[in-house]
Amino acid sequence: MEEASEKFDLNTEQSTNLLRMCLGADQQEIDKTEKKDRANLLHDTLGSKLPVNPALLESLPPVLRALSEELRSVSGLPLGNLLLDSKTKIAVIRRIKDFAKELGNSAKDRNERDVALAVYFAAIAGALVYHDVRISQYNFEQLKKSFEALAQHDWITPALEALYKDALKYCSDKS
């Protein structure tokens, strides 16, 4: 390192600044990659289907229970469609919220936790906006902060961002 610094006539401070710039560029690339990974994971999650209700599976005869994996693949609309449809029943929205909570609890990394959190709060937002029902213990001030923070992430889809903003307005009106 000393030889290279002398070769370019860099003092210690200049060498340190150059190193910081290089590391900063690497951090920007890491941030871009993480944002893209989060956006892709959110897209995949919103495109997936809600798992079949375990209580329903238990009520099936053993022969049909064995086919439960096939049932999972035809178990309805994708999560994104359900979250953004005002006609989605409140019971389904609650199931999505619970499913997202489970996803977050079993997440392997920050990206998975962030996406689960985005889906979790989208379910809460949908219940508020579409059904005028609060399905969480959070008060309106806490919900406002969460919706506002989520709406600002650049990896959130425009449709979810709009839902969060509608829920933010709802919470503002209620508080």
What pLDDT, on the 0 to 100 scale, is given for residue 5? 44
Predicted local confidence at residue 50, as pLDDT:
83
Q: What is the DSSP string of 1-41?
A: -HHHHHHTT--HHHHHHHHHHHHHHHHHHHHHHHHHHHHHH
φ and ψ of 140, to 5 deg: -65, -35
The alpha-helical segments, DSSP class H, found in 50-157 are 54-59, 62-65, 68-73, 79-84, 90-105, 110-131, 140-152
Residue-wise pLDDT for 59-102, tens only, equals: 556 665 566 555 544 457 899 999 999 999 999 999 999 999 99
| Stretch among 10-19, 77-86, 163-172 having the lowest mean pLDDT | 10-19
Work out the pLDDT band at 107, boundaries 50, 70, 90.
Answer: confident
Query: Where do the domains of the chain lie?
Result: 34-47+78-174, 51-76
